[in-house]
């Protein structure tokens, strides 16, 4: 069932969010919008529902999931916030920041959702409808991106439906995701806060709040990409069917071009398909368009998607991270 949030009256909105919460409480899966990407949601405290979620995604191993909350109180019921974690939550929640913190021993979040770790990833998303659903459920919602494992994350309900539509009781459609890239993940579990994944909040903004650089996580380029220290950050990820060629300064007639900025490379006129992430070279626009355009260029049937260079500043860090994973050997 598909629910278009933006076309719903206030009375019906209440009925619909209650129905979504009931599906979750009954152990079913629901596709929910967030400001980053669409999520495939399950009641995080229900191990059976979480197992169903892993199966629906086809995750090759059990990688821990982000538990989504609707406030600081709910977050602190499940995780232990030190001064750093509190500072970051104060500044960036609700929003595209995930905090990995020590898990409270009496947290009801299932061990499957945290993959048996003694830490938990928590996020308060900035989507009114999803917050309303979590509030009505009264418990955290585990939600990875609503795509099959290893594939491009969905930023529209249509894309989510094509990926996991068969496995869910309800798809909540609130239009295109504002940010378009997954949340930034910071671990506050040791002496120094550590960046586990660049994402929707530029690393520099986080470092400005902390007044110190984040430690960087080095683990996901190690010899065994299936056993990363930040589980789930596999080298090959976000992969379209087509090959992805980075830093392209020219494009062939049989290739599709993912452009950035006003000046197109040699061969662009004859390319099979061209989409520009941002003609004016804006990285926020580029982030919002990235996954949708990768999907569209993939659908053009081109064997290769050539990608123009993207600056590594601001959201460029997260954009380039996703593009490198899309281009990684599979």
CA gap 256, 298 in Å, rounded = 8
313 within 8 A of 262, measured Cβ to Cβ: no
DSSP 3-state assignment of 148? coil
Binder of residue 36, out of ligand TXA, Mg ion, none (CB less than 5 to 8 A by kind): ligand TXA
What character string, x for contact with ligand TXA (CB under 6 A) and - otherwise, covers 296-325? ------------------------------
Nearer to ligand TXA (CB atom), residue 183 or residue 278 = 183
The correct pick among 89, 196, 206, 251 for binding ligand TXA (CB under 6 A) is: 196
Minimum CB–partner distance for residue 25 and Mg ion (Å): 25
- Could you say whether residue 156 binds ligand TXA (CB under 6 A)? no
Q: What DSSP state is assigned to residue 245?
A: E
Minimum CB–partner distance for residue 240 and Mg ion (Å): 14
- Could you say whether residue 230 binds ligand TXA (CB under 6 A)? yes
Tell me if 16 is assigned to a ligand binding site.
no
Positive or negative, the CA dihedral 110, 112, 116, 117 is: negative
Interaction residues for ligand TXA, span 71-110 (CB under 6 A): 96, 98, 100
Nearer to ligand TXA (CB atom), residue 194 or residue 276 = 194
The correct pick among 145, 183, 292, 304 for binding Mg ion (CB under 5 A) is: 145
User: Does the N-terminal peptide bond of residue 94 adopt cis geometry, omega within 30 degrees of 0?
Assistant: yes
DSSP 3-state assignment of 171? strand
Size of the site for ligand TXA (CB under 6 A): 30
Tell me if 59 is assigned to a ligand binding site.
yes
CA gap 230, 130 in Å, rounded = 26
Nearer to ligand TXA (CB atom), residue 232 or residue 316 = 232
Angle at 320 between CA 58 and CA 127, to 5 degrees: 60
Tell me if 183 is assigned to a ligand binding site.
yes
Q: Which long-range contacts (CB under 8 A, 24 or more apart) does 74-78 make?
A: 74/134, 74/140, 75/99, 75/122, 75/124, 77/104, 77/107, 78/103, 78/104, 78/107, 78/108, 78/109, 78/120, 78/122, 78/140
Among candidate residues 195, 150, 145, the one with its CA nearest the CA of residue 318: 195
Alpha helix positions (H), the chain: 10-25, 47-57, 72-78, 83-92, 128-137, 157-164, 203-210, 283-299, 316-327
Interaction residues for ligand TXA, span 28-57 (CB under 6 A): 34, 36-37, 39
Binder of residue 232, out of ligand TXA, Mg ion, none (CB less than 5 to 8 A by kind): ligand TXA
Tell me if 9 is assigned to a ligand binding site.
no
Tell me if 250 is assigned to a ligand binding site.
no
The correct pick among 107, 145, 155, 320 for binding ligand TXA (CB under 6 A) is: 145
Minimum CB–partner distance for residue 40 and ligand TXA (Å): 8
CA gap 307, 71 in Å, rounded = 39
CA gap 298, 243 in Å, rounded = 9
| DSSP assignment of 312-325 | SSTTHHHHHHHHHH
- Could you say whether residue 63 binds ligand TXA (CB under 6 A)? yes
- Give the footprint of ligand TXA on this chain (CB under 6 A): 34, 36-37, 39, 63-66, 96, 98, 100, 114, 117, 119-121, 123, 125, 143-145, 182-183, 185, 196-197, 230-233
Residues flagged as binding site for L-threonine? 36, 68, 123, 183
State the binding site: 36, 59, 63, 68, 119, 123, 143, 145, 153, 183, 197, 238
Question: Which residues contact Mg ion by CB under 5 A?
Answer: 145
């Amino acid at each position: 069932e598909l629910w278009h949030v933006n076309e719903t009256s206030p009375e019906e909105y209440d009925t619909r969010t209650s129905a979504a919460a009931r599906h979750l409480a009954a152990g079913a899966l629901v596709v929910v919008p967030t400001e980053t990407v669409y999520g495939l949601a399950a009641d995080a405290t229900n191990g059976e529902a979480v197992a169903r979620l892993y199966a629906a995604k086809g995750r090759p191993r059990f990688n821990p999931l982000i538990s989504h909350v609707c406030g600081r109180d709910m977050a602190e019921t499940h995780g232990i916030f030190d001064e750093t974690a509190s500072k970051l939550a104060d500044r960036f929640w609700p929003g595209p920041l995930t905090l990995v913190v020590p898990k409270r021993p009496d947290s009801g979040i299932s061990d499957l959702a945290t993959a048996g770790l003694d830490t938990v990833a928590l996020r308060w998303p900035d989507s009114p409808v999803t917050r309303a659903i979590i509030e009505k459920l009264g418990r955290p919602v585990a939600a990875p991106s609503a795509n099959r494992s290893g594939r491009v994350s969905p930023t529209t309900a249509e894309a989510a439906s094509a990926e996991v539509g068969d496995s869910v009781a309800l798809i909540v459609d609130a239009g295109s995701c504002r940010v378009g890239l997954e949340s930034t993940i910071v671990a506050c579990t040791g002496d120094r806060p550590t960046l586990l994944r660049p994402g929707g909040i530029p690393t520099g903004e986080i470092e400005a709040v902390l007044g110190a650089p984040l430690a960087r996580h080095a683990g996901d380029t190690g010899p065994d990409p299936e056993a990363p220290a930040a589980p789930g950050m596999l080298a090959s990820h976000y992969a379209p069917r087509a090959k992805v060629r980075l830093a392209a300064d020219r494009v062939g007639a049989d290739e599709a071009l993912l452009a950035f900025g006003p000046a197109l490379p040699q061969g662009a006129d004859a390319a099979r398909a061209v989409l520009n992430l941002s003609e004016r070279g804006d990285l926020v626009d580029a982030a919002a368009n990235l996954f949708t355009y990768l999907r569209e260029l993939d659908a053009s049937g081109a064997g290769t998607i050539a990608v123009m260079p993207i600056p590594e500043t601001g959201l460029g860090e997260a954009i380039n991270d996703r593009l490198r994973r899309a281009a990684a050997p599979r």
